[in-house]
Amino acid sequence: MKALQFNVNVPKFAAAKILRTFFGKQVFYKGPVKTISLVDIPEPKLPTPDWVKIKTIYCGFCGSDLNLILLHDSPSASPFTSFPCVTGHEIVGEIVDTGTGVEGFKAGDMVTLNPGLGCEARGITPVCPSCRAGRASCENFANGNLPPGMFVGINQGINGGFAPLMTAHKSQLFKVPDGMSPETAVITEPVSVALQAVLDNLPEENEKILVVGGGVIGNLIIQSLRALVPGCSISVIEPSSFAADLAKKAGADEVIPSKKAFKQTARITGAKIYKPMIGMDIAMGGFDKIYDTVAAKTTLNLSMRLLTAMGTLSIVGIGGDVKLDLTPLWLKLQTIKGVYGYGYTEFNGKRQHVFEIAMDLMNQDKIQAENIVTHKFALEDYEQMIEVNLNKQKHRAMKTIVAFNK
């Protein structure tokens, strides 16, 4: 079967980085040193009786997929990946086969899946503290009966969703509610990322919130905030006019131009802005909570300076090495939180997985995730999909997905 496979070695890595200077980003997905290719792989088999086989319906193309292809990821994560690997982790599909150890699921069920490959999927007992707490930051991503890889899509042994068939451990499965379309269900994973970020840094009704970046995750954070804390004030910094318009439709009160960030923060929050002898301004007062979905040097330094004293900054974007001026951190007693994946949490008086909460909110139309799906591609058109994602403003693109024949 045909699948979209990522693969790189040291010579290819070096060559691609050099050639990118002369030929642009297309060297990563076209030509002799490309990192991504359409290849033939065998149909997967169930690793153990606790796994199922899934026929893929849709798989979303994530910003992390693009970063992988463009070799933007930090080397610090390399011990927890393995390749060649079939990419794709935003998946909805239909179960076509179940192992004898699987209960509660059967052939014909439409499911979405938590792509994380933690202790249970790896056959490790006792499970690590993170897995015991129901969170995604497993300590055994490089151990157990699977190759290294935090989730499907960056694991050599378990192919991701950019293939017509894949396998999943029973612990990863979530049934799609009756009446929910697969076009909505495929957005469960990114909605869960956004929801977990908000649940881990939940505002009060009267607080003033800033979302940095109005792309897919930024848009879904705005929708999650409106669903969970409808009375809070939400501002967003987003340079793309297309994404900014969608952010307003998602529930943002206003879009702040980055060049006017300090002036507008003073107007919105009542903060006082101070000018150092050299360097960037700093606000005393400011936004109560900030969600940075970009996590670049410029956005993180800006976020810390716009965050109020004792405020909390959630780093939702996956950044690499950045240089930060930590003055706001100690001067304003700020908290910076890392955000990764999703897990179990107390919600409405009971312990639930964030995937369950996400699908429930989507089913109630409190989060309208299907509205952000702007483009569908066949698997063989992956080069065009990458080019659309490299210039979303031009193509008026938000979430792009690969569609497979049912």
> 100 and 197: one domain?
no
Evaluated on CA atoms 209, 194, 60, 88, the torsion sign reads positive
* pLDDT at 66 (0 to 100): 94
Instruction: State which amino acid sits at residue 148.
Output: P
> 224 and 145: one domain?
no
Query: Residue 406 above 70 pLDDT?
Result: no
Q: Judge whether 356 lies within some domain.
A: no
Both tokens assigned to 351: 């312990």
Share of the chain above pLDDT 70, in %: 100
Query: Residue 345 above 80 pLDDT?
Result: yes
The whole-angstrom separation of Cα 238 and Cα 398 is 13
Nearest to 289 by CA among 216, 381, 224: 224
Query: Residue 186 above 70 pLDDT?
Result: yes
> 321 and 385: one domain?
no
Cβ atoms 269, 189 nearer than 8 A: no
Q: Judge whether 60 lies within some domain.
A: yes
> 117 and 260: one domain?
no
> 7 and 104: one domain?
yes
The model's pLDDT over 283-297, given as tens digits with 9 standing for 90+, comes to: 999 999 999 999 999
Q: Judge whether 361 lies within some domain.
A: no
Of 338, 354, 388, the position where a domain reaches its end is 338
* pLDDT at 382 (0 to 100): 97
> 177 and 236: one domain?
no
* pLDDT at 321 (0 to 100): 79
* pLDDT at 318 (0 to 100): 78
Q: Judge whether 27 lies within some domain.
A: yes
CATH number at residue 308: 3.40.50.720
* pLDDT at 78 (0 to 100): 85
* pLDDT at 290 (0 to 100): 98
> 386 and 332: one domain?
no
Mean pLDDT of the chain: 95
Task: Look at 168 and 19; give whichever has higher pLDDT.
Answer: 168
The model's pLDDT over 373-405, given as tens digits with 9 standing for 90+, comes to: 999 999 999 999 999 999 999 999 999 999 997
* pLDDT at 326 (0 to 100): 94
> 38 and 169: one domain?
yes
* pLDDT at 146 (0 to 100): 96
Segment 92-103 shows an average pLDDT of 97
* pLDDT at 240 (0 to 100): 94
> 31 and 14: one domain?
yes
Q: Judge whether 346 lies within some domain.
A: no
* pLDDT at 38 (0 to 100): 97
Cβ atoms 339, 195 nearer than 8 A: no
159 band by pLDDT with thresholds 50, 70 and 90: very high
Query: Residue 97 above 90 pLDDT?
Result: yes
Q: Judge whether 263 lies within some domain.
A: yes
The whole-angstrom separation of Cα 212 and Cα 302 is 10
- DSSP string computed for 266-324: HHHH--EEE--SSS--EEES-EEEEEESS--HHHHHHHHHHEEEEEEEEE-S---S---
CATH number at residue 55: 3.90.180.10
Strand order in the sheet with 2-6: 36-40, 2-6, 85-86
Phi and psi based region of residue 104 (left: phi greater than 0; alpha: psi -120 to 50; beta: remaining) = left
> 196 and 178: one domain?
no
> 167 and 223: one domain?
no
The whole-angstrom separation of Cα 59 and Cα 91 is 5
Please give the torsion angle defined by the CA atoms of residues 100, 354, 6 and 148, in that order, rounded to the nearest 10 degrees. -60
The model's pLDDT over 266-286, given as tens digits with 9 standing for 90+, comes to: 999 999 999 999 999 999 999
52 band by pLDDT with thresholds 50, 70 and 90: very high
Q: Judge whether 381 lies within some domain.
A: yes
* pLDDT at 7 (0 to 100): 94
Q: How many domains does the chain have?
A: 2
The model's pLDDT over 309-341, given as tens digits with 9 standing for 90+, comes to: 999 999 998 777 789 999 999 999 999 999 888
Nearest to 340 by CA among 35, 17, 80, 30: 80
> 166 and 212: one domain?
no
Task: Look at 239 and 72; give whichever has higher pLDDT.
Answer: 239
* pLDDT at 13 (0 to 100): 86
Per DSSP, the three-state class of 214 is coil
Q: Judge whether 360 lies within some domain.
A: no
The model's pLDDT over 77-94, given as tens digits with 9 standing for 90+, comes to: 888 999 999 999 999 999
Share of the chain above pLDDT 90, in %: 89
Domain extent at residue 280: 190-338
